[in-house]
Structure 1
């Protein structure tokens, strides 16, 4: 994803004010006791979800409009991602829990790490997409250690995500570590997010060769299932998209029953936007295969 603010071409004063205001809002975002961004209005709580909206924007804004601040921003980006990694990583799978409470007072908080108890596919999707999209940006003025960090985490997490894919569909369950458990189901937005991120990470060369092959194979298998299962073709030629869970918030019990009982939405933007991104990468992968020289 190439960010194009248009400001460099148009020098539109209103656009510049908008960009600056968005950037300042990050400075004003409250932080928890570890320095991690609080998510929305929840005191001391940090979520995986917010990384996709903030990290790529912060990276490119700094490169395009505030390059003198690159070192400090790079350190803060690494800190935000690493705090979530440190508090939320499930050692047995390499996946990340939805978020953590720095105060450890939430009803769901792990008493040692503060982490929530379940790996929710869409929150993981946000985090994985943030890694690959930030890596793609032209951030040459950032310290090399940031790109090294991003790529290392992308490789680790891609490997874990691929290992968690459903064997039959290639896609991912709503709660990723409980495949087949009553109430759980393969969810369409998280599956499309992973499909997009895995295809893209392989295409841009961020994964080792063997892992890139697995990434493409898994993404391709899931994409076929998404099209067959969640895409609805209407008689007028338009498409609809099904199977996307509504908002899942840690402002809840964060129980198994909570995550698996939230309503499924038709044409939710979380699902349709993710499917469009996945489709663009799927088409690129198809074009790459078609143009590859025949092996003899």
Structure 2
């Protein structure tokens, strides 16, 4: 009997210890799950547009340093990502997104309206893009300094050097050159600013006509009749080593340059008056563009860095151009500028981006991979526009020239 009591006592102790151990394990499991949830900086149940924006804020907490720079900078990449952030804020109404947008302008526009790090003397079309952020913030805040900064940017459009037939030089230091990039950097701002602040109908029409002229000229000088694609740059002087001595065009079709151009067309149409005769021309150009670009879509849904040479060694499926085409096609079709078939092209492209170019870290941060870091023409060191040049420029994840368009494409698709 004594042995039985001893056995039962030991059994009760063992059971008690086992129950305590199970409870502790269960509690620890709860703690681990709670910790894992807390560590997710980017919740997985949000739309892709918001997930990417949160990821960008995590990577670049200071919006003045977007694009991997050490010091605050007024540049087009900030304007690109923050224009997308504005649309996410308008969908979600989350204050932290507005604060991120506002801080950029607050840091770089002083009390007099001067733009830090910006030089009017440079006559650089890239610098106009961030004016889109000021258009939004001035409407929200009424701060006079934002208006004065916009007036400075608008004055650049008046003094920008031109080719003999009226095309804006891309930058003062790139004389007689038009680049596809410049249409996106300057013309949506140019049109919207005119829409809001030019009260003289005759003067407004003159500016709209000038905006249309830029598209007319880039079509005239840069479009290849055989493929329907547009070359990255055109040099009226034919002096650049990259320029064809007969046509003045650069040698290749760069996907992101074509992407800039597509986005320029769908965005500028938002601000051109409905009764302006040039609208139909831009819509025609957009349809030609969409047909040409679709002809070079890879079976993955994506597009190559050098658009028409997918089978050539060294070429790769590039994220920024693919995202830009997706955005342009969806917006174009939704607005009625393009046939609905381009929605299917864009859906395939977007699925290709998600399947091939998106990766997610343990904390939920979203990465966009295979983005061309930068590409240009001329300069020092000299960029010759060759095939080898385009495919050997730096490739990096999360370049804002890719993440911005990815957010925009996600927004129009409502994914």
The TM-score with structure 2 as length reference comes to: 0.64
Matches within 5 A, 1:242-257: 242-251=369-378, 252-257=383-388
Establish whether residue 96 from structure 1 lines up as the match of residue 230 from structure 2: yes
**Which secondary structure does the structure 2 equivalent of 1:50 belong to?**
helix
What CA distance in whole angstroms lies between the structure 1 residues aligned with 2:199 and 2:192? 9
Q: Deviations over 1:168-187 (max 9, x none)?
A: 11211111111211111110
Q: Which residue of 1 aligns with 2:363?
A: 236
Q: Which residue of 2 aligns with 1:70?
A: 204
Indicate if the aligned counterparts of 1:199 and 1:282 stay in contact, CA closer than 8 A.
yes
Cα distance change, pair 89–15 in 1 and its aligned pair in 2 (3 A): same
- CA RMSD in angstroms comes to 1.7
What CA distance in whole angstroms lies between the structure 1 residues aligned with 2:276 and 2:209? 11
Q: Which residue of 2 aligns with 1:154?
A: 286
Task: Tell me whether 142-151 or 243-252 shows the greater mean CA deviation.
Answer: 142-151
**Which secondary structure does the structure 2 equivalent of 1:49 belong to?**
helix
What CA distance in whole angstroms lies between the structure 2 residues aligned with 1:128 and 1:264? 22
Establish whether residue 122 from structure 1 lines up as the match of residue 256 from structure 2: yes
Q: Deviations over 1:61-108 (max 9, x none)?
A: 001001422211111111111111111111111110001001011112
The TM-score with structure 1 as length reference comes to: 0.89
What CA distance in whole angstroms lies between the structure 2 residues aligned with 1:7 and 1:248? 33
What CA distance in whole angstroms lies between the structure 2 residues aligned with 1:263 and 1:15? 35
What CA distance in whole angstroms lies between the structure 1 residues aligned with 2:142 and 2:363? 42
**Which secondary structure does the structure 1 equivalent of 2:340 belong to?**
helix
What CA distance in whole angstroms lies between the structure 1 residues aligned with 2:190 and 2:306? 30
Q: Deviations over 1:4-23 (max 9, x none)?
A: 53535643211110111110
How far is 1:202 from its partner?
Answer: 0.6
The structure with the greater share of residues assigned to helix is 2
Matches within 5 A, 1:18-97: 18-40=149-171, 41-68=173-200, 69-97=203-231
Indicate if the aligned counterparts of 1:88 and 1:100 stay in contact, CA closer than 8 A.
yes
Q: Deviations over 1:32-86 (max 9, x none)?
A: 2332111122111110001111111000100100142221111111111111111
What is the aligned residue count?
A: 277
